[in-house]
């Protein structure tokens, strides 16, 4: 072994040691203290979900979406973006649709929540579920529970004369039209692009022609 070989080896050892020390320092800097579960802020909340009373003790930061999916195992409601941008998490609360990813469960004490599991059963589908199947209103199906919950709410909104951005005459009513449906369903994104078939399904259930 030459003197040069010994020098290279010594440098290699020093470099390896320095790198290891740097990694350990970074790990120490970013290591999070382990917080005992019992010390997390929690609260009791009672919901009526699909007609059943549910009493939960939740981390107060739990969204309604996570309470439904992770705590009540109602996985029909989907998490798409978790940022209020896709509509996959749409459920009805006290008869009005909301994005369940944008609201905390503890804000809904005593509220009545309806998810896709509460609209119909495989044996007895809700008319909107049946119409989506008949008109092929989905491909992958990931957005479909949110689409159906929204579609049911849209027909109720039109029936209740609640105007939308495209309603021409605010006095006194909103009437069914393809434009009304498109506008009101615009918060429900379908990456598969099943929009025209979704419109057909909603139109059939409305009993009118768009
Ligand atoms: Fe709630 Fe996308 S998951 S809007
Ligand atoms: Fe695939 Fe809508 S059916 S995203």
What is the model's pLDDT at position 170?
75
More confident residue, 147 or 170: 147
Ligand 1 atom nearest to CA at 80: 3
Q: How confident is the model at residue 197 (pLDDT cuts 50, 70, 90)?
A: very high
Helix (H) or strand (E) holding 110: none
Residue pair 201/126 in contact by the 8 Å Cβ criterion? no
Q: Which ligand is nearest to the CA of 147?
A: 2
Is 194's C-beta closer than 6 angstroms to any atom of ligand 2?
yes
Structural domains of the chain, ranges and CATH numbers in brackets: 42-118 (3.10.20.30), 127-206 (1.10.150.120)
Select from 41, 56, 53, 59 the least CA-distant residue to 104. 59
pLDDT one-digit tens code per residue, 5-50 = 555 565 655 555 556 666 566 566 566 666 666 677 899 999 999 9
What is the model's pLDDT at position 105?
98
Neighbours of 204 (CB within 10 A): 18
Residue 3 pLDDT > 60:
no
Residue pair 134/204 in contact by the 8 Å Cβ criterion? yes
Q: Which DSSP state fits 104? A: B
Mean pLDDT check: name the lowest of 70-74, 172-176, 201-205.
172-176
More confident residue, 84 or 3: 84
What is the model's pLDDT at position 168?
83
**pTM to 2 decimal places:** 0.81
Is 190's C-beta closer than 6 angstroms to any atom of ligand 2?
yes
Ligand 1 centroid distance, CA of 69 (Å): 13
What is the model's pLDDT at position 42?
93
Q: Which DSSP state fits 63? A: B
Residues of the chain above pLDDT 70, percent: 80
Lookup: tokens for 55: 């009493």
What is the model's pLDDT at position 40?
79
Residue 100 pLDDT > 60:
yes
Bridge partners for 91 per DSSP: 98
Residue to mutate (ligand 1; options 80, 97, 103; most atoms within 8 A of CB): 80
More confident residue, 25 or 157: 157
Is 139's C-beta closer than 6 angstroms to any atom of ligand 2?
yes
């Amino acid at each position: 072994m030459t003197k040069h070989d010994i020098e290279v080896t010594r440098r290699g050892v020093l470099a390896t040691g320095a790198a290891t020390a740097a990694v350990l320092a970074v790990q120490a800097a970013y290591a999070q203290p382990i917080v005992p579960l019992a010390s997390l802020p929690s609260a009791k909340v009672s919901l009526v979900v699909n007609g059943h009373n549910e009493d939960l003790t939740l981390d107060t930061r739990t969204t309604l979406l996570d309470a439904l999916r992770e705590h009540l195992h109602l996985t029909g409601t989907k998490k798409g973006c978790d940022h209020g941008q896709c509509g996959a998490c749409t459920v009805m609360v006290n008869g009005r649709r909301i994005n369940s990813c944008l609201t905390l469960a503890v804000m809904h004490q005593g509220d009545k929540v309806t998810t896709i599991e509460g609209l119909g059963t495989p044996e007895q589908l809700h008319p909107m579920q049946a119409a989506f199947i008949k008109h092929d209103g989905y491909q992958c199906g990931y957005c479909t529970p949110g689409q159906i919950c929204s579609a049911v709410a849209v027909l109720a909104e039109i029936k209740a004369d609640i105007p939308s951005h495209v309603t021409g005459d605010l006095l006194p009513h909103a009437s069914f039209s393809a434009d009304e449906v498109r506008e009101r369903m615009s918060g429900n994104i379908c990456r598969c692009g099943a929009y025209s078939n979704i419109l057909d399904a909603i139109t059939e259930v409305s009993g009118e022609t768009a």
